[in-house]
Amino acid sequence: MMARAGGELVNPATGLRIVFRETAQSTNGELLQVDWIGPPGWTTGSLHVHPRQEKRLEVLCGTLGLRADGVARLHGPGEVAVIPAGMPHAAWNAGAGDVHVLVDFRPALRTEVVLEALAALARDGRTTAAGVPRNPLRLALVLRHFEDEIAFVRPAPPVQRALLGPLAALGRALGYRADHPYRQRSRRNFL
């Protein structure tokens, strides 16, 4: 699936539903804008950074927990948080119902491809419950290939670079790919 306005992904591991409003293609790469709808218990997982992107989160309904730059805070409807490029952060649903957040990534880079790949891997049963690829070679390949879009805070970046390069190369040699197409299932499959 190529991201398009109105397109939707569901990550069965995390429960996150993603609806694309603006894509890299529709904004000349300036913006990726999506709705995140996360059920109770949803989280982005470990502290991570977007090395070259600013991330803006506007809560539309529910309660969003956000740890940014070491400070945890709850955000309710109408509140906006802006995460500068390179700032460690993690988000979660801090309420009893769904949390609905409008999220902007500037510039778009290839974030929609990352979201698609992780949702597709989860749908194929190839991730943990947290949505992380189970296979360390695939994980290394994804992190190395999309290092401008996302990086974990731990282990330290020099350790990650030392480990990810060789593991990603081995994963490529074995035929793994960083991208993983998310194909919409037809309604007929559910009947």
Q: Where are the domains of the chain?
A: 8-111
What torsion do the CA atoms of 150, 155, 158, 163 make, to the nearest 10 degrees?
Answer: -90
Residue 187 reports pLDDT greater than 90: no
For 116, phi then psi, to 5°, come to: -65, -45
- The mean pLDDT of 35-43, rounded to a whole number, is 97
For residues 127 and 132, give the distance between their C-alpha atoms in angstroms, rounded to a whole number.
Answer: 5
8-111 falls under which CATH superfamily?
Jelly Rolls (2.60.120.10)
Residue 1 reports pLDDT greater than 60: no
Q: What is the pLDDT of residues 79-123, one digit of tens each?
A: 999 999 999 999 999 999 999 999 999 999 999 999 999 999 999
Residue 175 reports pLDDT greater than 60: yes
For 82, phi then psi, to 5°, come to: -120, 125
pLDDT bracket for residue 185 (50, 70, 90): low
